[in-house]
Structure 1
Amino acid sequence: MATPTPLTTPSTPPHRVVVLALDGVYLFDLGIPERVFGGVHYAGVLGAYEVVSCAATGDRTVTTSTGLTLTLDHGPEALESADTVILPPYDLSRFTADLPEPVRSALAHIRPDARIVSLCTGAFTLAAAGLLDGRPATTHWALADEFRRLFPQVALDPAVLFVDDGDVLTSAGVASGVDVCLHLVRRDHGSAVANQVARQCVVPPWREGGQAQFIIQPMPKERNEGTGATRAWALERLDRSLALRELAAHARMSPRTFSRRFQEETGTSPGRWLTQQRLNQARHLLETTDLTVDRIAAEVGFATANSLRQHLHTAIGVTPQAYRTTFRGRSEKPGEERAPRQ
């Protein structure tokens, strides 16, 4: 991999990410935070993150899901200095709703102002610790019934890839761990950096739909019966109104059949999917161009600037101008350096 061209060197200490590995941890997922947050270096932002792994016990050992025993560099005391804590998934056969004392003690080291993230089955530990009570959360779709049985006090949504509830984030299975880590990079440093990290990881910067697209569904009789080609076609025409009948006609389906197939394949409706794609493009333009809000609204297919404002506020709670200010700064021009957010 080529050495990156430095764009920004933070003057503040790096954001410290501590990965808490519990017995039964899956090795693939244990490496996701380092791969994603470490990739910010190759996006040209030097020293943005420091990623370390720790065990829940003082002997610093952890047994993986495959039976390997690892000795980590840190024990639970590392959590005291964490800005973000990430709990990767583990073999649920080792889980008990009453947390073992070493795990409970380890979690007690986390600072009140730290950001906490679970990947897949890591949500079970957060829920058992009471950290998800009354909050929205997700986990792997196949474990939704068991999760609800154990933790009815959590507002579980098994249809999404991840849930961002501010200081606590939860994600679904395996690849969604990459999704939520990229999302955090996007929150901290903007879409341009997150997109570059995604390219280094050879993954999409933002995946469409939710977990519904990964639940086993009956296969179409013919390969050309899906909606993927129509979605690609629509992405090139976001400045148009794109009514359901037009989308269905492109896919050579009735509107009813198209809507049903679309929901099965993406986990959302055509209308909601289009709105999300328009918002994604609007956010990209707000970050990378000086186009007015009116022009951006027209470019991405919202009828008016006010419509864009309303949709953006509903989606992420801010106005277009506030979003632009947050991710570019008041005086920044496209292409200029931007100090990273901590």
Structure 2
Amino acid sequence: MYKVIGLAFDGCQATGLTSPFDVFNVVNSIWKQTRGEDDTLYECQLASRDGGWVSCSNGMRIMADVSFAQMPEADLIVIPGIHHLDVRSLLKRLAQLDEETQWLSQYIQRGIPIAANCSGVFLLGDAGGLVGKRATTAWWLGKAFSSRYPAVEHCPDTMLVNDQGAYTSGSMTANLGAMLALVEQQVGRHLAQSAARNMLIDAAQSTASPYIFMQESSDHQDSLVLAIESQLQRDVSHKLCLQTLASGHGVSVRTLSRRFKAANGISVADYQQQLRFEQTKLLLETTSLSLEQVVERVGYASPSSLRRLFQKALGESPSHYRKRVQQKGAH
């Protein structure tokens, strides 16, 4: 039997605990069904400072099974995300989780695998569990992560990283993939794949590149430009009209263009083209849509114009790019 301990603390994201536990519960059910026995593969418990009630960020209250002082045996520790409004509030909350950090460090010293999700990866980093390893986190926290943990190889373009027992994920769905990766490693691929089919989980590693571009381009405080960026991101296929865009935000075309260029270093039109290009790459990487369907969804004039753009930007055709990236992801 494998023992899974979820780390619970005030302000944690409940999904970061309940979803992994659901995965292990499904694995248990499949295991029992296929063996015809009442064996349990995974036993899941929650641990908190005092073993009492914990208030999650969504208002849910959960009761821990054990306290830190009991130091339960574990084959895996699960760290949920930490509720925060911005990087400053996240760092402030981390400073208040010193007991959690010390508790985690003891399991790190024992070599126990630890899975951390989104902002929870920072807690694993503070506990020393990522030194000399590769890791990922939520895309909007990438710069803060790299700055805080220079001894960690940040993988910003990847949603799920497994390096020497440190499973880090940059999204809720990737966190489920991390659990399935652990199941595959511990009890075999067949059981992991059965659980993935049962829960409709795509356990394939995915990219975060379009979101990274948005993070980099939004590293400013101009409220007008942020609103324009948000509008463009919601519908990359929308035909751009600067006059309509400016009027909708109560400014002139000249003011909009000047402030956008000052904030991002590129024009509104170039920004939209970058959004479209990144969205196109994502669709080629993660779907089986035809080139014509991709063109229609993203808003390019024609397949031939997209081919010319890819050849100019990447030196290859869209079909070659799709084949190359998908082959790379299969290894």
TM-score range, shorter chain: 0.5 to 0.7
Mapped to 2, the partners of 1:98 and 1:78 lie a distance apart of: 23
Name the counterpart of 2:13: 26
Gaps of 5+ in 2: 33-38, 215-232, 240-275, 291-301
* Deviation, structure 1 residue 80: 3.6
Of 23, 41, 46, the residue aligned with 1:48 is: 41
Name the counterpart of 2:153: 155
Is the aligned partner of 1:63 residue 2:55?
Answer: yes
For the Cα contact (< 8 Å) 2:8–2:64, is it kept in 1? no
Name the counterpart of 1:15: 2
Is the aligned partner of 1:232 residue 2:288?
Answer: yes
For the Cα contact (< 8 Å) 2:20–2:179, is it kept in 1? yes
Name the counterpart of 2:119: 121
What secondary structure, in the 3-state scheme, does the structure 2 residue paired with 1:50 have?
A: strand
Mapped to 1, the partners of 2:140 and 2:22 lie a distance apart of: 26
Mapped to 1, the partners of 2:311 and 2:184 lie a distance apart of: 31
Name the counterpart of 1:143: 141
Is the aligned partner of 1:220 residue 2:212?
Answer: no
Are the structure 2 counterparts of residues 40 and 261 from structure 1 closer, same or farther at C-alpha, using a change threshold of 3 Å? farther
* Deviation, structure 1 residue 121: 0.9
Mapped to 1, the partners of 2:81 and 2:174 lie a distance apart of: 11
Deviations 1:271-302 (A, max 9, x none): 4423146x4xxxxxxxxxxxxxxxxxxxxxxx
Mapped to 2, the partners of 1:178 and 1:261 lie a distance apart of: 34
Q: Match of 2:183, as an amino acid? A: V
What secondary structure, in the 3-state scheme, does the structure 2 residue paired with 1:31 have?
A: helix
Are the structure 2 counterparts of residues 107 and 140 from structure 1 closer, same or farther at C-alpha, using a change threshold of 3 Å? same
Mapped to 1, the partners of 2:310 and 2:238 lie a distance apart of: 15
For the Cα contact (< 8 Å) 1:148–1:156, is it kept in 2? yes
Are the structure 2 counterparts of residues 66 and 260 from structure 1 closer, same or farther at C-alpha, using a change threshold of 3 Å? farther
For the Cα contact (< 8 Å) 2:17–2:78, is it kept in 1? no
Q: Match of 2:27, as an amino acid? A: V
Name the counterpart of 2:296: none
Mapped to 1, the partners of 2:9 and 2:50 lie a distance apart of: 13
For the Cα contact (< 8 Å) 2:9–2:54, is it kept in 1? yes
Name the counterpart of 1:270: 322
For the Cα contact (< 8 Å) 1:77–1:109, is it kept in 2? no
* Deviation, structure 1 residue 60: 2.5
What secondary structure, in the 3-state scheme, does the structure 2 residue paired with 1:19 have?
A: strand
* Deviation, structure 1 residue 67: 4.1
For the Cα contact (< 8 Å) 1:99–1:129, is it kept in 2? no
After superposing the two structures, state which structure 1 stretch, 136-145 or 15-24, moved more: 15-24
Are the structure 2 counterparts of residues 78 and 85 from structure 1 closer, same or farther at C-alpha, using a change threshold of 3 Å? farther
Q: Match of 1:65, as an amino acid? A: S
Of 56, 60, 64, the residue aligned with 1:72 is: 64
Name the counterpart of 1:90: 82
What secondary structure, in the 3-state scheme, does the structure 1 residue paired with 2:82 have?
A: coil
> TM-score w.r.t. structure 1 length?
0.61
* Deviation, structure 1 residue 163: 0.8
Q: Match of 1:54, as an amino acid? A: A
Name the counterpart of 1:296: none
Q: Match of 2:236, as an amino acid? A: M
* Deviation, structure 1 residue 109: 4.3
What secondary structure, in the 3-state scheme, does the structure 2 residue paired with 1:117 have?
A: strand
Are the structure 2 counterparts of residues 135 and 67 from structure 1 closer, same or farther at C-alpha, using a change threshold of 3 Å? same
What secondary structure, in the 3-state scheme, does the structure 1 residue paired with 2:66 have?
A: coil
Q: Percent identity?
A: 23
Mapped to 1, the partners of 2:96 and 2:154 lie a distance apart of: 20
For the Cα contact (< 8 Å) 2:138–2:171, is it kept in 1? yes
Name the counterpart of 2:190: 192
Name the counterpart of 2:104: 107
Are the structure 2 counterparts of residues 73 and 260 from structure 1 closer, same or farther at C-alpha, using a change threshold of 3 Å? farther
For the Cα contact (< 8 Å) 2:66–2:72, is it kept in 1? no
Is the aligned partner of 1:183 residue 2:235?
Answer: no
Gaps of 5+ in 1: 1-13, 235-249, 280-314, 316-342
* Deviation, structure 1 residue 259: 6.9
Name the counterpart of 1:11: none
For the Cα contact (< 8 Å) 2:15–2:80, is it kept in 1? no
Mapped to 2, the partners of 1:75 and 1:119 lie a distance apart of: 22
Aligned residues: 244
Mapped to 1, the partners of 2:312 and 2:79 lie a distance apart of: 36
Q: Which has the higher helix share?
A: 2
What secondary structure, in the 3-state scheme, does the structure 2 residue paired with 1:164 have?
A: strand
For the Cα contact (< 8 Å) 1:119–1:170, is it kept in 2? yes
Name which one, 1 or 2, has greater alpha-carbon Rg.
Answer: 2
* Deviation, structure 1 residue 24: 0.9
Mapped to 2, the partners of 1:43 and 1:251 lie a distance apart of: 45
Q: Match of 1:191, as an amino acid? A: R
For the Cα contact (< 8 Å) 2:101–2:123, is it kept in 1? no
Name the counterpart of 1:303: none
Are the structure 2 counterparts of residues 256 and 161 from structure 1 closer, same or farther at C-alpha, using a change threshold of 3 Å? farther
For the Cα contact (< 8 Å) 2:177–2:201, is it kept in 1? no
